[in-house]
Structure 1
Amino acid sequence: MPTQTFFNLPEDKQQRLLDAASAEFSRVPFNSASINNIIKLAEISRGSFYQYFEDKEDLYYYFFNSLKKDSRKLLEECLTEANGDLFLGYKYYFPKMFKMITEEKHAEFFRNMFLHMDYRTSRKVSPGVKKRECTKKHGDLKGHLYEFVNMDSLNIEPSEDFHLLIRLLMTILFQTIGDTFAREMSEEEAVTSFNKKLSWLQDGVYLKK
Structure 2
Amino acid sequence: MPKETFYNLDEEKRKKITEVLISEFSQKPFSDVNVKTIVERLGIARGSFYQYFEDLEDSYFYILDKKTHDIHKLFLTSLEKNDGDVISSLNDYGYDIADIIFKEDSYMLYKNRFLYWDESLNKSWNNCHQDYKDLFKNIEKMGVDEEKIIFVRAIVHNLIQRNFREEWDRATFLEKYKIHMGWVKEGIFNANI
- TM-score of Structure 1 vs Structure 2, range by shorter chain: 0.7 to 0.9
Which consecutive unaligned segments of at least 5 residues does structure 2 have? Answer: none
Alpha-carbon distance in 2 for matches of 1:93, 1:120: 28
Match of 1:52 in 2: 52
Alpha-carbon distance in 2 for matches of 1:71, 1:205: 23
Q: Which amino acid aligns with 1:204?
A: G
Match of 1:171 in 2: 154
TM-score (norm 1): 0.75
2:113 is equivalent to residue 130 of structure 1: no
| Offset at residue 43 of structure 1 (A) | 2.0
Match of 2:183 in 1: 200
2:65 is equivalent to residue 62 of structure 1: no
Output aligned runs, 1:97-136, within 5 Å: 97-119=97-119, 121=121, 124=125, 130=133, 134=137
Q: Determine helix, strand or coil for the equivalent of 2:152.
A: helix
Deviates most, 2-11 or 190-199: 190-199
Match of 2:43 in 1: 43
| Offset at residue 24 of structure 1 (A) | 0.8
Q: Give the direction of change, closer, same or farther, for the CA distance of 1:191–1:184 in structure 2 (3 Å limit).
A: same
Alpha-carbon distance in 2 for matches of 1:132, 1:205: 26
Deviates most, 78-87 or 116-125: 116-125
TM-score (norm 2): 0.81
Superposed CA deviations along residues 9-38 of structure 1, whole A, max 9, x for unmatched, are 112111111111111111110001121111
Aligned partners of 2:68 and 2:110 also within 8 Å: no
Which consecutive unaligned segments of at least 5 residues does structure 1 have? Answer: 135-143, 157-161
- Percent identical among aligned pairs is 27
Aligned partners of 1:76 and 1:145 also within 8 Å: yes
Q: Which amino acid aligns with 2:52?
A: Y
Aligned partners of 1:172 and 1:194 also within 8 Å: no
Aligned partners of 1:129 and 1:145 also within 8 Å: no
| Offset at residue 98 of structure 1 (A) | 1.7
Match of 1:11 in 2: 11
Deviates most, 39-48 or 103-112: 103-112
| Offset at residue 172 of structure 1 (A) | 1.9
Q: Which amino acid aligns with 2:184?
A: L
| Offset at residue 81 of structure 1 (A) | 4.3
Q: Give the direction of change, closer, same or farther, for the CA distance of 1:5–1:106 in structure 2 (3 Å limit).
A: same
| Offset at residue 192 of structure 1 (A) | 2.3
Deviates most, 48-57 or 64-73: 64-73
| Offset at residue 186 of structure 1 (A) | 2.3
Count residues with an aligned counterpart. Answer: 187
Aligned partners of 1:53 and 1:59 also within 8 Å: yes
Alpha-carbon distance in 2 for matches of 1:44, 1:25: 18
Aligned partners of 2:18 and 2:63 also within 8 Å: yes
